[in-house]
Amino acid sequence: MSVIELPNGRFRVQIRRAGFPKFDKVFLTRDAAVIAETSVLGEQAAVATTSDITLSEAWERYSQSQTYLTKKDRTRDTEAQRIKAVLEELGGYSLVNLQNAPGAIYDYIDKRSVHISSRTKKKLSTTSVRLEVAALSVNLH
């Protein structure tokens, strides 16, 4: 069990499994912590093999591929720029896990849809989020 009671009375859920991103959050109640633990372990149980390449590794391979290199410069630049935020958030996931448990992708979309740009001080446009997801989808196929 990965639910630990902290000295301040809160409960920490800490899960580390090969092929999956680390999960480490603190909850006010044991029930909330157990629900979160069950949810994360349920998503991670969707795939038995964790030896598949991660999204970050797939991006590295793709960025060196002939498919990528034959694209126009502007298209390559756009993909390279848009994938950065995706890799920060989802780069540790294996491709199989992202395909079989897409909740992480939907959470990412929700998070980016309300993100405030440090450059413009405004919410990201729907086009920006769409382009990030498009860059992600190139690596999932």
Domain map of the chain by residue range?
Answer: 3-44, 55-140
Tokens describing residue 31? 């029930």
pLDDT of 29: 93
Alpha-carbon 132 to chain mean position: 12
Spell out, as residue ranges, where the chain has pLDDT lower than 50: 47-50
pLDDT of 27: 94
- C-alpha to C-alpha distance for 132 and 118, rounded to whole angstroms: 17
DSSP-derived 3-state class of residue 83: helix
- C-alpha to C-alpha distance for 58 and 56, rounded to whole angstroms: 5
pLDDT of 26: 94
- C-alpha to C-alpha distance for 130 and 88, rounded to whole angstroms: 17
pLDDT of 17: 76
pLDDT of 55: 87
Tokens describing residue 103? 């909740």
Cα–Cα distance list, 124 to 1, 2, 11, 30, 106 (Å): 38, 35, 34, 35, 16
Helices marked H in 10-140: 30-44, 55-63, 66-69, 73-90, 95-100, 103-113, 126-140
pLDDT of 11: 94
Please tell me the pTM assigned to this model. Answer: 0.59
- C-alpha to C-alpha distance for 56 and 119, rounded to whole angstroms: 25
